[in-house]
Structure 1
């Protein structure tokens, strides 16, 4: 894998006038602390998600309310040079690059669609397909229409969570076009937002609207939802809980889920497809939208708390504890760690 020769963490954020949507930060691997980098900032509007190219010096950003995907070249010192902009056909909130580095898929929350781009030799993107979902769901405010929230490659297949229609849709790429290869239905009003693939093959899906996690099996490309568990050990009665980002630990022993409302990371122990909640750990900020883990450190983007906080995971229990390290970032939406 090609490297860019720097240790910068990039943070994508929703923007106001004069605020860069992407900021660069040096990371101390020992303490987890972040310090502002002299290079690495870019004026991207509402950079709701960031992703690396797997084998080229390029970074991609979803510019949500501009309806665009942005391409940047990353210099050895971490400086970002804008290479190009492409419309996505909606309002994108997530994107990912397939493992081969050939395709970039974008989930348009606004517009309920999925866009496919092909990566050119210089890292820029060429539009190839746009597929619009149809339907609605139980919640009249959040499910009045499709809302694609995640477009994640699992191998050569693309899995798309659609919060608006309670489905996870699987696509394959055939002759440069997205081919719908199946869909899994979830409970009415569940609102699938994010999914995490376990090393042993299970898939865990976070329901934003009913505050659950659903354990799924996958066989022959077919996703089969199983039991649902509450999104937190203790769900507050005085306010709703809105799960956001979910990830499996590298060793597969634990699943971590960010919960907005109680503003915590909930830790689950994994046994096959069974999840057991172990702890709700405060993130130290308000409205945790996204987090990223490297080694024993977790970086949490607290969107309305205007901060990125750092937690350290106990290697035995899997439970993170706050380190006290934090940086101020206006409306952070995504943390992109150095590519490894």
Structure 2
């Protein structure tokens, strides 16, 4: 079956650490990706918008509104309206994230709730917050805050809980929150009348694995975790009726030896046959083929920069956000899941994430 025609241009929003958060980025910047060449360029018609510590972005499912974490202690989250001409304007003032160092957020599919994962700090535990959203997408009052408990064996990283991601499963039934400090994925049910979270299950992962992010395969039967502390990628079976995970197989995230490595972003292909992960330390992007319930390494290429943190799928390309080198690189996805750099790296200072608009 032929692939659908690619759009003439893909609009991308990048998030960067700012001077307030140890970086030198602008906050939010709008880019244009040419799918025919894989070359990203700044949208000269849309100036950057200063948003403190914009470490992760999410878009509203039906409104032209983008939400950003502001990774500070205490943390906040921001809403930004995107006009028809692409210009970005703050939509109200930032609001408290309910914890320290918010690092991930997502909008519930019904468009009425924002869910935020707060990593926490040495003294503050990881938490997950819920905010009600207004009819125009603006952030309203917080409706719930759940506090994670747990720890792991890795000294200096797992003395307490550290929520690292919050997402809604493909069926829209459960909310999953990874916790790097507790070696767990917490499952919740969101009451969409009150905006409160009910804990359904605590899925224990391998001791010292430090689960960072999850990526669901199409259909939702399998979910893959990027395990930051064990430098592995794990395939889990997901029970959509119970919201539980069962670990099936695990492979090293990189073939590069003699380097301390921390997996960062993880993406499952739309066809479900491949998984890709960034490797901070090895400074690579690794490709895996999904064979039944196992992952087979098939390729590993340079990230085109140092400390690749964010990974985003964009029209048969992967956008790699290299935090320390301040570069955004587009990798072309080949038919067999392998990767090739599509064009020269683009300078985006302290870039950590990208969002396709």
TM-score range, shorter chain: over 0.9
1:328 partnered with 2:335: no
Aligned residue number for residue 128 of structure 2:
114
Whether 1:56 and 2:86 are equivalent positions in the alignment is no
Offset of 1:314 from its aligned partner? 1.0
- Please list, as runs of the form range in 1=range in 2, the aligned pairs for 1:77-226 lying within 5 A after superposition: 77-84=85-92, 85-90=94-99, 91-110=101-120, 111-126=125-140, 127-154=142-169, 155-174=172-191, 175-200=194-219, 201-219=221-239, 220=241, 221-226=243-248
Matched, 1:25 2:31: yes
Match of 1:47, SS state, is: coil
| Distance in structure 2 (CA, Å) of the matches to 1:211 and 1:35 | 32
Structure 1: gaps (5+ residues): 1-5
Residue by residue, what CA displacement relative to the aligned partner does 1:303-333 show, whole Å, maximum 9, x if unpaired? 1111001111112x11010122321011111
Local SS of the residue matching 1:330: coil
2:17 aligned with 1:9: no
The structure in which a higher percent of residues are strand is 1
Alpha-carbon distance between aligned partners in 1 of 2:202 and 2:25, rounded to the nearest angstrom: 39
Please identify runs of 4+ aligned residues in structure 1 that moved more than 2 A.
none
The 1:92–1:310 alpha-carbon spacing in structure 2 relative to 1, beyond 3 Å, is same
Range with greater deviation from structure 2 (32-41 or 135-144): 32-41
User: Shift of the alpha carbon at 1:19?
Assistant: 4.3
Residue 36 (structure 1) aligned to one of 35, 42, 55:
42
Partner of 1:248: 268
Distance in 1, matches of 2:70 and 2:261, equals 26
Q: Out of 306, 311, 333, which is 1:286 matched to?
A: 306
* Match among 256, 281, 290 for residue 235 of structure 1: 256
Partner SS for 2:344: strand
Distance (whole Å) between structure 2 residues aligned to residue 160 and residue 12 of structure 1: 22
With the length of structure 2 as denominator, give the TM-score of the two structures. Answer: 0.89
The whole-number CA distance in structure 1 between the counterparts of 2:196 and 2:252 is: 37
1:319 aligns with 2:338: yes
TM-score between the two structures when normalised by the length of structure 1: 0.94
Residues of 2 paired with 1:89 and 1:103: CA distance?
Answer: 15
Q: Tell me the residue number matched to 1:337.
A: 356
How many residue pairs were aligned?
Answer: 330
Match of 2:53 in 1: 46
Q: Which residue does the alignment assign to 1:3?
A: none
> Aligned equivalents of 1:27 and 1:247: distance in 2?
19
* Structure 2 unmatched runs, 5+: 1-8
CA 1:31–1:225: 2 relative to 1, 3 Å:
same
